Amino acid sequence: MDFLDTAFRLDRSRNATAQVFEHLRELIVGLAIKPGTVLARPQLCDYYNLSLSPVREALLRLEEEHLVDIFPQHQTRVRCIDLAQARQAHFLRLSVELEMAHVLAGQPDPSLAQLLLDLVEGQAACLATGDLGRFTELDMAFHRSLYEAAAVPDLWSMMRSRSGNLDRLRRLHLPLNGKAQSILAEHTRIARAIERGDAPGAQESVRIHLSGTLNAIDALRTRYPDLVLPVDYGAGSLAA
């Protein structure tokens, strides 16, 4: 586990299980911990300087999000990217964000549009320097801002908890074939459509934006056969 060579500072004022879960989830979703990696509990306890209980609970939460497989009395292994889970997360996210686009465009707010465009500008700067990690953080901020503006911030938290496999696919896709540049263009179109009160245009831009990665699944599976589950459990693509 290469990440054990990096430093981690536990905040004793916060719940230890939550911190271990958040840290491991970030590393798994960001592909710093690759699918197939065995997460040995004794090593994790040493790394986080914690007893077994909070580490075990954190791993159970990761299992609930379909990011690890726990084999009792044997081992815990990071799960390959699950296409069935990714497609379900996509279906849920698309349904919610299409409605948000309709609502937000129906009550245009210049300050929201400016916030979104500022985030796009920040993404462009990250892309220019090759900082895809920060680019992804701003991508998340763009979408979180939509949920907050629509007064449904709790849905953002729920969505994140179900999107681990979809987000891993997006991380694989981001460096390929101009995907990052297309995100910038699509984010801009979403912001401009909301700004001018164009609900159909905002919804169409959201649909195009959220469908790109699933439309590239075959190419991603071919390029990364060891990272994506070899069996597609989904009955056809949910991407538009």
Burial 190-218 (b: 16+ CB within 10 A, else e): bbbbbbeebbebbbbbbebbbbbbbebbe
> Residue 33, class by beta-carbon neighbours within 10 Å (0-12 exposed, 13-18 middle, 19+ buried)?
buried
**What is 83-223's CATH topology?**
Four Helix Bundle (Hemerythrin (Met), subunit A) (1.20.120)
Q: Which CATH number is 2-78's, of 2.40.30.60, 1.20.1200.10, 1.10.10.10, 2.30.22.10?
A: 1.10.10.10
User: What is the SS3 assignment for 194-210?
Assistant: HHCCCHHHHHHHHHHHH
Do residues 172 and 31 lie in contact, with contact meaning Cβ atoms separated by under 8 Å?
yes
Do residues 175 and 219 lie in contact, with contact meaning Cβ atoms separated by under 8 Å?
no
Residues in the chain, pLDDT under 70: 1, 230-240
Do residues 137 and 198 lie in contact, with contact meaning Cβ atoms separated by under 8 Å?
no
Provide the 8-state DSSP code for 77.
Answer: E
Backbone angles phi, psi at 228, to 5 degrees: -115, 140
Domain boundaries, the chain: 2-78, 83-223
Q: What is the pLDDT of residue 213?
A: 87
* Residue range 97-149, pLDDT digits in tens: 999 999 999 999 999 999 999 999 999 999 999 999 999 999 999 999 999 99
Q: What is the pLDDT of residue 230?
A: 58
Q: What is the pLDDT of residue 233?
A: 39
Q: What is the pLDDT of residue 231?
A: 47
Place of tokens 């549009």: 113
